[in-house]
Amino acid sequence: MKYQVLAGTLSKIEATSKRKEMTNYLVELFKAITPDHIRDVIGLIRGSPYPDYEDFQYGMAEKMVIKSIANATGLTTDQITEKMKEKGDLGKAAEEELATKKQTTLFTKPLDVKYVSETLDKIGRTSGKGSVDVKIKLLAGLLTNATPLEARYIIRTILGQMRLGMADMTIMDALAIAYTDNATNRPIIERAFNISSDLGLIAEKLVKEGIESVKDFKVTIRHPIRMMMAQRSGETEEIFEKLKGTFIAEFKYDGERLQIHKDGETILLFSRRLEEISEQYPDVCEMVRTQINAKKTIIEGEVVAYNIETGELRPFQELMHRRRKYGIKEAMKAIPVNLFLFDLLYLEDKDFTNKNYPLRRKALEKIVTETEQLRLAVQKEIITEDELEEFFELAVEKGCEGIMAKSIQDSIYQAGARGWLWIKYKRDYKSEIADTLDLVVIGAYMGYGARTGYYGSLLMACYDPIENQFKSVCRMGSGFTDEHLETLQKLLKPYQVSDKPPRVLINDSIITTVDAWFKPAIVLEVQAAELTLSPVHTCALDKIRKGSGLAMRFPRFTGRIRDDKTAEQATSQQEIIDLFKGQLKKIE
Ligand code: ATP
């Protein structure tokens, strides 16, 4: 299959923001490809030949890519840099230069999907001495044979700037329609994705072996399972009602979630974003190796910083110092950790995700040798309100954020879902509005006075997974220290773009007021006083009242950068609607 066909589809997708149209373009593409190409095509659409959990990087900075373009076009790097500034995007700049300046050699051959995929893979895998030149040459080779449109997408792929605005859900819809003629098969594909996080593998199975084989998809060790999430509640009555009168309450530890895969002596730790972070926690790996008595298992827990002298648990902010690539030994000493285990999803070739929670916990208990550092999450079966309040107070006293109430009936592990089988009840709920929200930075306004040169306030959005859009919910200007301002400026820089990103939905009246736009990537924790109807913000637009959205009043940055969350894992529009409704109930 020609890469040109794929590039054509990508450009049509880029030009629309309608999910239905995107799906149709993909269906057309999928119908035209041969089974052997599907994995490459999925990889090229998603921007990497590998699933997200493989830490695969192309390792080419903008400067190197500019050199490749120079090699392929005969232009100078200055000319290309100039063009990039004019276009605000290196992909578009290369496209234009190739269209006008391309040295037409007689030997250009049309690019094949497989060849592009393999060359990109090679670029990523080349490392060590001399690798800079090899990477530049490999990319220049591709560009020499590329049409201008192909060059746009090859470069954006390499730089991780695909900007298609398309969610995995759309790809799954299109797979179901193209290969089963039935959109209602999407949930089967989705379940397989939730337990394997590898869309390329699933698509290949679907194409070659049919939907039945996808139905049979099994949890596999070393393939991370998308994590189950919790709903929130500020009302104890609601917790009892949702969990049918009796449930298990557990301490909600304030650390970092880990999904742990133990395969013999090999221990892999996956973060909340399903990135492999085993190297950050050699101490945790060692505990698992010696204290988990199973050959093959997938378990989950929370790693929490603690004070070695008093044994007290420390807040999440301290654990964040463990997030580093170098100086790990020192960090391990300075910030020792405890691991609290709370779930088991797989044991010795058996999938436990479809079993009820009490059974999973029992299986977990059987394989753990507890010590001070590695323990099971404290839990208690709850029948009365008093028991719940008492357990909550105990959790807070022990340095936890609150509790997690977990269903004991029909309580499977809902991979990738935020359902009512788990309900979090936190200390924050007792102040201001129920809970903090995790919102995505989509824009910024320059500061005045003491904040001159820095962003003075940020435009924040929630995520709407149905429309795959980021919708504004507030402008946040308080809670920032000077240190935050500097850190945020640096953190946001790589995501700055010249125009409003396609997946961002904001009211026309504020578009021209925004000084800087960002690709949705950075998630911040925000506390607010309350939610109100808003004529300006697009979160929940028309959902509560025609012509109005929802906004947060007096939003304040809590100081917590949620780098354990992707933009799509930010607070959803539905959660904000639920919070607003809960707030109304309280007033009544
Ligand atoms: P929050 O912002 O409240 O930390 P979140 O959006 O990161 O939540 P949720 O799934 O909503 O994620 O909340 C559950 C998180 O709480 C889990 O991801 C996990 O990190 C943490 N946690 C702490 N203790 C437990 C426990 N006993 N059981 C499950 N999760 C726990």
Ligand 1 pocket check for 303: Cβ under 6 Å:
no
Backbone angles phi, psi at 459, to 5 degrees: -90, 125
User: 269 — phi, psi (to 5°)?
Assistant: -110, 125
What's the residue count for the chain?
588
Judge contact between 88 and 498, C-beta under 8 A. yes
What's the rounded mean pLDDT across residues 366-390? 95
Ligand 1: distance of its center to the CA of 136 in Å? 43
Query: 293 Cβ partners below 8 Å, 6+ apart?
Result: 367, 368, 369
Cα gap 140→68, rounded to integer Å: 4
State residue 428's pLDDT score: 59
Residue 571 DSSP class:
P
Q: What is the 3-state secondary structure (H, E, C) of 226-256?
A: CCCEEEECCCHHHHHHHCCCCEEEEEECCCE
Could you tell me the distance, in angstroms and rounded to a whole number, from the CA of residue 66 to the centre of ligand 1? 43
CA-nearest residue for atom 30, ligand 1, is 252
Atom from ligand 1 closest to the CA of residue 377: 27
**Position in ligand 1 atom list of the atom nearest CA 254:** 23
pLDDT surpassing 80 at residue 108: no
Residue 430: the pLDDT is 46
Task: Render pLDDT for 279-310 as a digit per residue (tens, 0 to 9).
Answer: 999 999 999 999 999 999 999 999 999 988 88
Domain boundaries along the sequence of the chain: 3-159, 168-215, 229-425, 431-583
Which residue has its alpha carbon closest to ligand 1 atom 25?
A: 252
Ligand 1 atom nearest the C-alpha of 571 is 6
Question: Measuring CA to CA, which residue among 379, 373, 407 is closest to residue 228?
Answer: 407
Answer yes or no: are the C-beta atoms of 434 and 571 closer than 8 Å.
no
Query: Residue with the nearest Cα to atom 18 of ligand 1?
Result: 257
Identify the pLDDT of residue 396. Answer: 85
Give 417's contacts (C-beta < 8 A, 6+ positions apart). 194, 228, 229
The CATH number fitting domain 431-583, selected from 3.40.50.720, 2.60.120.260, 2.40.50.140, 3.40.190.10: 2.40.50.140
Taking the CA of residue 256 as reference, the ligand 1 atom at the shortest distance is 20
The mean pLDDT value for 238-266 works out to 95
What's 90-135 look like in SS3? HHHHHHHHHHHHCCCCCCCCCCEHHHHHHHHHHHHHCCCCCHHHHH
The answer to whether residue 252 is catalytic is yes
Sheet holding 402-406, edge to edge: 229-232, 418-426, 402-406, 247-252, 379-382
Centre of ligand 1 from the C-alpha of residue 159, in Å: 32
Using alpha carbons, select from 115, 407, 364, 42 the residue that is nearest to residue 239: 407
436 CA closest ligand 1 atom index: 2
User: Which atom from ligand 1 is nearest to the alpha carbon of 257?
Assistant: 20
Given ligand 1 and candidates 339, 396, 404, which is best to mutate, with the most ligand atoms within 8 Å of its CB? 404
More confident residue, 459 or 397: 459
Least confident window among 127-136, 443-452, 460-469, 515-524: 443-452
| CA 261/CA 347 separation, integer angstroms | 10
Q: Which of 252, 262, 471, 519 is catalytic?
A: 252
Mean pLDDT on 139-149: 94
pLDDT, mean of residues 129-151? 95
Distance CA 93, CA 99 (A): 10
Tokens 């596999």 -> residue: 220
- Residue closest via CA to ligand 1's atom 3 equals 424
Residues 488-546 pLDDT 10s: 999 999 999 888 998 899 998 888 889 999 999 999 999 987 888 898 999 999 998 88
Q: What is the dihedral of CA 44, 49, 52, 53, to 10 degrees?
A: 170
Looking at residues 156-182, what average pLDDT do you find? Answer: 89
Whether ligand 1 lies within 6 angstroms of the CB of 404 is answered as yes
Q: Ligand 1 atom closest to Cα of 564?
A: 7
Distances (CA, A) of 299 to 211, 337, 405: 29, 17, 19
CA of 249 to the centre of ligand 1 (A): 13
Q: Name the residue of 228, 229, 364 whose CB sits within 8 Å of the most ligand 1 atoms, as the mutation to test its pocket.
A: 229
pLDDT of residue 427: 63
Cβ–ligand 1 contact at 252 (below 6 Å): yes
What pTM, to 2 d.p., does this model score?
Answer: 0.79
Q: Is the CB of 257 under 6 A from ligand 1?
A: yes
Question: What spacing in Å lies between the alpha carbon of 424 and ligand 1's midpoint?
Answer: 8
Q: How big is the CA angle at 200 (ends 11 and 143), to the nearest 5 degrees?
A: 45
CA proximity to 43, closest of 119, 95, 110: 119
Q: How many A from CA of 53 to the centre of ligand 1?
A: 20
Residue 168 reports pLDDT greater than 50: yes
Instruction: Report helix, strand or coil for 475.
Output: strand
| Level-2 CATH architecture, domain 3-159 | Orthogonal Bundle (1.10)
229 Cα to the center of ligand 1, angstroms: 7
CA–CA gap between residue 62 and residue 372 (Å, rounded) = 48
Cα dihedral 324→328→331→336 (10° resolution): 110
Question: Which residues, other chains included, contact 146 with Cβ-Cβ below 8 Å and sequence gap of 6+?
Answer: 3, 72, 98, 111, 154
The pLDDT of residue 588 is above 70: no
**Residue identifier of the C-alpha nearest atom 12 of ligand 1:** 229
For residue 182, how far is its CA from the centre of ligand 1 (angstroms)? Answer: 35
Which of 233, 253, 364 has most ligand 1 atoms within 8 Å of CB, for mutation? 253
**How far is residue 580's CA from residue 588's CA, in Å, rounded to a whole number?**
13
Average pLDDT, the chain: 91
pLDDT confidence bin for 89, thresholds 50/70/90: confident
The burial class, CB within 10 Å (0-12 / 13-18 / 19+), for 265 is exposed
Instruction: Report the distance separating Cα 340 and Cα 376, nearest Å.
Output: 5
Q: Which of 232, 257, 300, 440 for mutating ligand 1's site (highest number of atoms within 8 Å of CB)?
A: 257
Give the class (CATH, top level) of 229-425. Answer: alpha beta
Contact 377 CB / ligand 1 (< 6 Å): yes
428 C-alpha to center of ligand 1: Å?
14
Reported for 106-112, long-range contacts at CB under 8 A and 24+ positions apart, including other chains, are 108/144, 108/145, 109/145, 110/2, 110/3, 110/4, 110/145, 111/2, 111/3, 111/4, 111/142, 111/145, 111/146, 111/150, 112/1, 112/2, 112/3
Is the predicted pLDDT of residue 258 greater than 90, yes or no? yes
Tell me how far CA of residue 281 lies from CA of 92, 284, 364, in angstroms.
41, 5, 21
Q: Which range (114-123, 358-367, 539-548) has the least confidence?
A: 539-548
Cα separation, 255 vs 411, whole angstroms: 24
H-state helical runs in 434-572: 482-492, 508-511
Give the pair of three-digit tokens for residue 536: 């300006």
Average pLDDT estimate for 552-579: 92
Which residue's alpha carbon is nearest to atom 5 within ligand 1?
Answer: 229
pLDDT band at 586 (very low <50, low <70, confident <90, very high): low
Distance 256 CA to ligand 1 centre (A): 8
Question: Measuring from atom 24 of ligand 1, which residue has the nearest CA?
Answer: 252
- pLDDT tens per residue, range 462-486: 999 988 899 999 999 888 888 888 8
Percentage of the chain modeled with pLDDT above 90: 70
pLDDT for residue 171 is more than 70: yes
- How confident is the model at residue 451, as a pLDDT? 76
